[in-house]
Chains A and B, each alone.
Chain A
Amino acid sequence: MKIGCVNCGAEIGLERDEPFFVCPFCGSSLFLDRAKTFKDFLFLPLLPPAAARSKVEEELARREVPACPVRAVEQVLVPFWGLRGEALQETVPAFSPVPPALMGYRMPSAESVFFTAEAAEGFEPVPCAETSSAAWRGHADVSSCSLYRVPFFRVSLSAGAFSYAVWVDAVSARVFVDQTPPPVSAAISSRYLSLVFALFGVFAVAAAIAPTFGWSLIAVGILAAASVPFVKRFVSGGGA
């Protein structure tokens, strides 16, 4: 890679990705802004916008979360640094703040092209963070790095006092979500109702066969106390 010195204008060939270096001609200390000098690649979107909504709905259904109204669907190009080294292949977010859902994101195994605004039509590029390259700058194992822009659908959901963001990778169709509304599904309701009816039957039979009202009260009381741990486990389904 060759760059021009901002002080004397000389053309300097760079051997390594050092952020600070000295111009061999005028001796000026120079800073290399990686976000503006490194290869910029783009993954082309494969998922149509309409499919993003259905992907989100599928993910919510899988988590037994009730359907939430979609507030907005944004098409964004999210930048990541692709770091390569002898024993290193790492993806580092090049934007900030990084939502918890995209922490630990791995880039899709698809072909990429050089980034141009025309190639990324319809997707708004998320600006690179000035601080993002600081995470790996000076890392001895990094021999090369490139900027990869991954198209995402950012689906904003509104649910009562909360709002949620679901990220759909437009290349691999993977869904990334950090938080969702609590699972309140029909399955949980059915479990609850069937339990209530079963308990009602047991209590009613116990009360009916008891010889006196006092005995029926005692029998129902004992059965109710015994059912507490069972009810907790049954309704929660072993979790939330």
Chain B
Amino acid sequence: MTRPRALSCPLCAGAVPPPSSTRRLECPFCGRALYYDGEDFTPTLVIPPRMGEAEHRKACAALLKHPLVPSGLSGSATLLRRQRSYLPFYLLTGKRGGVLAVGKERLVTKMPGIDISAESAGSAGGARTVIRSRSEVQVEEDSRVVVGDFRYAYSAAALEDRDFGDTSLKDVVKEHLGEARPTTLDELAADGEVVDADLPLERIVERGVAAGTGTKGELKVLELEASVVYVPVHTFSFRYGRQTFSVTLEELNGTWLGGQMPFRGDWAHLLSIPLVAMLGLVAGNVLGFAFKIGPREWSAAGLFGNAALMAALLLGLAMALGLQAAWLLLRTPLAVKLTPAGARVERAGEAPKNPFAPANALVKFLLENAMKKRLGQEDAP
């Protein structure tokens, strides 16, 4: 972006500092009000943050108690750093107009009658065609002169390192535009990081405003006033155990824009307790039964012929499968992804291989063999 460099007052020829936030200037020598209309200057506006320290604390406390994050997160997470950033948006306003080709649709109903055209007359046997009453849509081409105001907000920076889209922020800019006030970059920089408006305005106008002209006819941009509006967001970085995570808050409506948070794995831990307890109960009772009847009575037929024991063993197998599921849940890297629409659990890596797979295969083989044997005995004459 080029800047105006050397200005002088048209009345007294005094040196006038270049505009910094608005096009309105005042000559420091004669006091005359001036208006700079050069195209090499873009006014800068800011929508001031509506959240202070107390609101930040409240929003973070609510987020750290989200049902998807570990229950002790709000007590254990340490705030590492926080940073306010001002994200730039181009606000494009103006007039657009031109001649727009339009088509007018009309419903035409043809009355019933007899077709006596040459084609019909020349048909075999000279029979006449009877036309029934029918309706059809006819399109009449027309044109219309259109002039209208437009107001668009486009992201002025490529936020590749941020994991939130600019779609929701555009709506926030439009919603709070009434609160925007002129500012300077120095003023913003004293309060936080000012993200550079690095997307060329010409490209935004070409692809955005000019591209939205409709499919028929030509609409041209008649007037265009561009300004850069800075929107405040706040990024909080936390440490939790060995993890660090960052979340970004939009400071006008208080919406969380993006970030990652730890997922509460204690569900899997707690789930494993009743499963292990049931498994231990079954195994303990089988063991107790075996001791009770004594070693002399031990035999495969005696143990496996007992229906209650078989049921207990099957229950034990089900519990073992449940434990494996809990283990896999613990081993799969899951994280909570924050979006403007809310929080959701996403996989942050590949699911691990199940180390119990050989044991599962062995149990499956034994069960299949036992079933085949049983069925073979039943089918035998």
Chain A residues close to B by CB (< 8 Å): 6-7, 20, 22-23, 26-31, 33, 63-66, 68, 93, 95-100, 103-104, 127, 129-132, 134-138, 159-163, 165, 177-184, 188-189, 192-193, 196, 199-210, 213, 216-217, 220-221, 223-224, 227-228, 231-232, 235-240
Contact = CB atoms under 8 A, between A and B. Distances in A.
Contacts of A23: 6
A29 B198 contact: no
Contacts of A188: 330
Contacts of B159: 97
Contact of B189 (A99, A131, A161, A221): A131
Contact of A209 (B260, B282, B288, B335): B288
Contact of A96 (B193, B246, B333): B193
A178 B237 contact: yes
Interface in B264-294: 265-266, 269-270, 272-274, 276-277, 279-285, 287-288, 291
Contacts of A181: 333, 335, 348-349
Interface string B329-340: 011111101000
Contacts of B195: 96-97, 129, 131
Contact of A217 (B76, B157, B281): B281
B83 interface: yes
B348 A182 contact: yes
Interface in B345-369: 346-350, 352
Nearest to A33: B3
Given A97-B162, A97-B195, A236-B266, 7 more contacts: A97-B85, A127-B198, A129-B196, A162-B346, A183-B241, A228-B270, A232-B269
A115 B284 CA distance: 75
Task: Choose among B85, B189, B243, B277 the residue with the greatest number of A CB atoms under 10 Å from its CB.
Answer: B277
Contacts of B313: none
Q: Is the interface of B mostly helix, strand, loop or mixed?
A: mixed
A200 B18 CA distance: 78
A208 B287 contact: yes
Contacts of B241: 183, 236-240
Contacts of B196: 95-97, 129-132
Contacts of A210: 284, 288
Contacts of A202: 280
B81 interface: yes
Nearest to B290: A208
25 contacts: A6-B5, A7-B5, A7-B6, A29-B16, A29-B17, A31-B5, A96-B193, A97-B85, A103-B83, A104-B81, A131-B195, A134-B185, A136-B189, A137-B189, A160-B333, A192-B327, A193-B327, A200-B280, A201-B280, A203-B276, A205-B284, A208-B287, A220-B277, A220-B280, A236-B265
Contacts of A184: 330-333, 349, 352
Q: Enumerate the 10 nearest inter-chain pairs by beta-carbon distance, A residue then B residue, closest first.
A: A239-B241, A203-B280, A207-B284, A240-B241, A134-B189, A28-B6, A161-B346, A129-B196, A160-B347, A131-B194
Contact of A216 (B273, B284, B327, B333): B284
A159 B237 contact: no
Given A97-B161, A132-B196, A220-B277, A162 B240 contact: no
A125 to B, nearest CB: 14
B189 A135 contact: yes
B1 interface: yes
Nearest to B194: A131
Contacts of A160: 333, 346-350
Given A97-B162, A178-B237, A129 B198 contact: yes
Interface string B164-198: 00000000000000000000011011100111111
A124 B189 CA distance: 27
A140 B203 CA distance: 38
A103 B162 CA distance: 14
Most chain B beta-carbon neighbours within 10 Å: one of A31, A204, A221, A235: A204
Nearest to B81: A103
Nearest to A198: B276
Contacts of B14: 27
B157 to A, nearest CB: 7
Interface string B255-267: 0000010110110
A223 B6 CA distance: 83
A139 to B, nearest CB: 10
Contacts of A137: 186, 189
A66 to B, nearest CB: 6
Contacts of B346: 160-162
Interface in B1-50: 1, 3, 5-8, 14-18
B242 interface: yes
A199 B269 CA distance: 12
B97 interface: no
B152 interface: no
Q: Could you say which of A65, A131, A163, A196 has the most chain B C-beta atoms within 10 Å of its C-beta?
A: A131
A180 B240 CA distance: 12
B260 A240 contact: no
A127 B291 CA distance: 79
